[in-house]
Amino acid sequence: MTLEWLAAFGKSFLFVLAALLPILNPAATAPIFLGLTEGASERTRALLARRIARYMLCLMLGSMLIGSYVLEFFGISLPIVRVGGGLILAATAWRLLTANHVSEDSRTELAEAFTPEMARRHAFYPLTFPVSCGPGSIAAAITVGVSLSDPRMTVALARVGGGVAALVAIAVLLYLAFRYAEHLLRPLGEAGSVIFLRLSAFILLCLGVQIVWDGVSELLTSLPMT
């Protein structure tokens, strides 16, 4: 029984890690985090990184464990979640893509205005949802949660435990990527960082449009044929 429990735990850990880490992709969203926190101090960014990692963990855990039941209760389908979340993601990316690059003086003013209290207000929206944890990852977490079920209670608990452990590991990776994002991009220089941020924002915009299109396509295919 112990070996079966450990095997179920390990398989679900690897399964959830392989399914959700490429979608969440902390390394790819770290430049977006830097762009949206332009002017924030290193201490404020560290505070944000902790809060975003914690919020992401809670959101993904809720989606994985009870997400399908919540959607069923409100009568909301996954395509609708994709359309709504994709629109928010695209709007956030467009705002970041069209933002003017700040000068050194403006950066100092922003640093004074970007207080820890302001960081707390923006930690969930838009920095956690939809930038760090978007509709695509939520839909994937709901799908993964359904696949973790098992008629045997002990095996089901082992699978859920492995999934939770995988999400904790992803949250740690997200925290590290955001906490040290500025250091990771420093070798690119200021001009290189600006270019990289713009490209990341453009990719995020395309991702939002793709998510909307996927949701609309699913909705169209579900329409009754006349």
pTM for the predicted model, two decimal places? 0.74
User: Among candidates 28, 27, 21, which has minimal Cα distance to 200?
Assistant: 28
Amino acid letter at 187?
Answer: P
Q: What is the pLDDT of residues 12-56, one digit of tens each?
A: 999 888 888 878 888 878 888 887 787 777 888 898 999 999 999
CA 44 vs CA 11, 15, 40, 108, 119: distances in Å: 37, 34, 6, 14, 7
- Prior bond of 224 cis (ω within 30°): no
Higher pLDDT, 92 or 64: 64
Q: Which residues contact 116 (CB under 8 A, 6 or more apart)?
A: 43, 44, 47
CA–CA separation, 69 vs 9, rounded Å?
Answer: 23
Average model confidence (pLDDT) for the chain?
80
Q: What pLDDT is recorded for position 39?
A: 72
Q: What is the pLDDT of residues 114-172, one digit of tens each?
A: 566 776 777 888 788 888 888 778 888 887 887 787 778 888 899 999 999 999 999 99
> In the structure, what pLDDT confidence band is assigned to residue 173 with cuts at 50, 70 and 90?
very high
Chain position carrying tokens 């939809």: 130
